[in-house]
Amino acid sequence: MISGSSVRYEKLPTSENYDEQGSENLEEEVTVFISQSLSPQHKVRQRRGTWVRLAVALLLLGLALGFVICEWRGCLSEEDGLRGSTAAPGHSGTGPKQKGHSHHHDDDDDEEEEDHDHHGNSEHHEHQHPDLYHHGVVITDSAICSRIGKGILEEGGNAVDAGLASLVCLGVVHPHATGVGGVFSAILYNSTSRTHKAIRPISHGSSSVAYGIPAALQGIKQLHSLFGHCGWEKLFSGAAKLAKDGFQVDQALADALISNREKILESNLCDLFCDGKGSVKVLGSTVANQKLAELLQFVSQDGSRFPESLAVKLAEDLPPTERQGFVENVQRCGVEINDPLIVETEEYSVYGATSPLSNRIISDVLGKVGEQNLLPWNNADFNSSASTYVSLLTAAKLIYNDNLAKENRSVEDLLALNPTGSHIGVLDGAGNVLIISSSLNSPFGSKRLLPSTGVLLSDVSPHPADDVLLWSCPLIVKFKHDHGDEDHDHGDEDHDHDDDDDGDDDDDDEMLAVGVTGGPSAPFVAAQIIASKVRGGKSAQDAATGPLLRLETGSSGSFSGCVSAVTNGTDVYRLLLEKEGRLEGVVRCPDSTLALMLQAHAEHVGAYGAPAALAHADGY
């Protein structure tokens, strides 16, 4: 007998416990383990070893569970590493970033598409859409304003809420192009009622030749009261914070500051846009507008007496003789909401918040392109297409001259205008679409900053509505489901077909939203984008990013053109020399045309724009 020992019994199976057929033998074999008692030191070491082994086991178990969960949720996939911020196809790493997503398909009958990166086997593969989103998307010419608009969508707001919040934001970060002192026009598609509404600015005169009557906030109030979903104050919170805390000068504002340096230094704009040394601020500098922040905060909290309270606030800095007329005009300004103008064809319909003149130009250009097959953008080599660009320019000259003659206006006078603007495109998860074009008419408007409110007044003419609608073209294009396959089958690589069929013909129609702003050539550029999609068979992205011919006024008032395009994420420009019939590289086109396109298909929404440096899409 061993003193101080302990005994444990355990049954152990052996090979003899089972017969050849696998039946269990009733006999059992008993093994006895005898262990000698350990000293206290040994017991301490044994307990330590036990705890160490237990900790290691728990760590390994945790790692194993982590891998299982990650594998289940797909966080180890290659695509998910790109989920946070992926450049759109054709955009370089230095271009505007767009957030992407990846998802799975279990059907091995799905066709591979040109803009999908496929991974895995035929029974289960993943593909990534770096420029597409599942729920909603906002695109503007400011990355931070697109982000604010997307945030509104994520918090339950609709397309109108997101678009208006982005518009207020642009008035803070891009004061050279838009703001409280300006106006805007828009096209709205309501997916519930399946109706299109044109939003056009209305104005009733001006108190001075030096500035125009602002209508932006009045229009925002009208749209929100009719179509908005989120709280009124939420439209202003993001913009007010930027104005108060300061924002960084982006490339668009930096370029405008450089181009208008002398005018800024000679005006009170220097209070905002000059540094301590009296020099105009540069890219990356911080700008804060405390007075504008206070105004936005005031407006967001005072809905009962709006726009009277706004008018009185803005009039504080005007000469006493002008205040009464200014207040009356501000109260009467806003937007009118009507049925859109329509360009109807057998294949598609174009709904626009444009002027009758712009609408006629769009219709005539689309007809001429189809009649003469003027599709130079089908050829990637600009120079080899120069002759076609000359023909397109000649057609544009005739179309503009004929239509302007009916209004006793000349092409030279029209192209002498120097408008600037911002654009906003929103497509929400319910299928609602809003395209907004906003402007101060020319860079930094009247160059007059109101000290009490931080508002930069526009230099819009006494009756701005007609001229504003010449430089802005918010459009929605709806393709008819029964049109010929020859024009609709080209776009498969970009999800141009809507395969959902719930029995309603309207749901079978493909819809695109197009926005062009920034100059008198806007309707001409808009028509080219539509023609590129319909006649040229281009994807939505390729149609929006060019090549696009813009109209220019050359030396001695001649009519010329400039071609713009996005190549590998870089904006490329070519000046069309009409007499020589060739294209010559330039730094940029003189006009400030901005173009965007939104597309919805099945589970995806996409947004594209040009110039690439001013196309910032953000979605989820």
Q: What is the per-residue pLDDT for 105? A: 39
User: In which band, very low, low, confident or very high, does the pLDDT at 44 lie, cut at 50, 70 and 90?
Assistant: low
Cis peptide before 547 (omega within 30 of 0): yes
78: confidence class by pLDDT, cuts 50, 70, 90: very low
Residue bearing tokens 């970060």: 173
Q: Is the pLDDT of residue 31 over 80?
A: no
| pLDDT tens digits, 522-577 | 999 999 999 988 888 888 888 888 788 988 765 555 667 888 888 888 898 988 87
| Mean pLDDT, all residues of the chain | 76
Instruction: Please tell me the predicted confidence (pLDDT) of residue 377.
Output: 61
Question: What confidence tens digit (pLDDT) does each residue in 461-509 have?
Answer: 544 445 656 678 999 998 876 544 444 444 444 444 343 333 344 444 5
Residue 332: how many CA atoms within 13 Å on its side-chain side?
11
Q: Which DSSP string corresponds to 105-174?
A: E--TTPPP-TT-EEEE-SSSEEEEETTEESS-EEEES-HHHHHHHHHHHHTT--HHHHHHHHHHHHHHH-
177 vs 438: CA distance, rounded Å: 8
Q: Nearest Cα to 123, choosing from 136, 146, 104, 148?
A: 104
* Helix H or strand E segment including 576: strand 570-577
d(CA 368, CA 535): 12
Residue 97 has pLDDT above 50, yes or no: no
Number of Cβ atoms within 10 Å of the Cβ of 529: 29
Q: Token pair of 274, please?
A: 């000059």
pLDDT for the residue 4: 44
Contact 597, 513 (CB under 8 A): yes
Which pLDDT belongs to residue 488? 41
pLDDT per residue over 566-617, tens digit each?
888 889 898 887 777 788 888 888 888 899 999 887 678 889 999 999 999 9
Rounded-to-integer distance, Cα 398 and Cα 410, Å: 12
Tokens 């600015």 -> residue: 201
End-to-end Cα, the chain, rounded Å: 77
Token reading at 229: 């979903």
The amino acid present at 233, given as its one-letter code, is: E
Reported confidence tier of residue 383, pLDDT bands at 50, 70, 90: low
Give which of 440, 402, 20 is closest to 216, Cα–Cα: 440
**Where residue 323 falls among pLDDT bands split at 50, 70, 90?**
confident
Q: At what angle do helices 522-534 and 464-471 cross, to 10 degrees?
A: 40
Q: What is the pLDDT of residues 412-454, one digit of tens each?
A: 777 777 678 899 999 988 889 999 999 887 889 888 899 999 9
Cis peptide leading into residue 611 (ω within 30°): yes
Contacts of 76 (CB under 8 A, 6+ apart): 67, 70
| C-beta neighbour count of 291 within 10 angstroms | 18
pLDDT at site 313 = 87
Report CA-CA distances (Å) from 339 to 17, 40, 156. Answer: 89, 93, 27
Q: What is the mean pLDDT of the segment spanning 518-523?
A: 84
Query: Hey, what amino acid is at 619?
Result: G
Contact between 391 and 555 under an 8 Å Cβ cutoff? The reply is no
Please give the helix or strand (H or E) that residue 42 lies within, else none.
Answer: helix 40-73
The region of weakest confidence among 103-112, 347-356, 453-462, 549-558 is 103-112
d(CA 533, CA 242): 38
**What would the mean pLDDT of 37-51 be, rounded to a whole number?**
57
CA distance 608 to 543: 9
Q: What is the value of pTM for the model shown?
A: 0.75
Q: How do 97-98 and 455-456 pair as beta strands? A: unpaired
Write the CA distances from 337 to 187, 199, 222, 353, 487, integer angstroms: 9, 5, 9, 9, 33
